[in-house]
Amino acid sequence: MRSYELMTIHRPELSEEDVRSLVSGMENFLAENGATVSNTDHWGKRRLAYEINHISEGFYTVLNFEAGTDAVAELDRTLGISDDVIRHKIFRPEV
């Protein structure tokens, strides 16, 4: 298993409780697929550096986890089709 970092930006119309629920769902999905989440950091609502589809702010969240490539690919696919996620990025941090 490899270490990954996931940053998501959720829609600003959601409440903070909804965002935390969605992030908890991502953590559960990773756990079901054999991954271990080491850290979850909720940044809260912030302004975007540039507008995305006429949206200027969103809820930022960062997850650090270790997972296999199959779980990461499925998570990437799921986040890509989610209407609640404006943007997401999964990358391997340099050690």
3-47 pLDDT tens trace: 999 999 999 999 999 999 999 999 999 999 989 999 999 999 999
Q: What is the pTM of this model?
A: 0.87
- Could you tell me which of 42, 90, 41 has the C-alpha nearest to residue 67? 90
44-95 pLDDT, tens digit each: 999 999 999 899 999 999 999 999 999 999 999 999 999 999 999 999 987 6
Paired tokens of 11: 């829609």
Q: Is residue 37 within 8 Å of 80, Cβ to Cβ?
A: no
Q: Is residue 23 within 8 Å of 58, Cβ to Cβ?
A: no
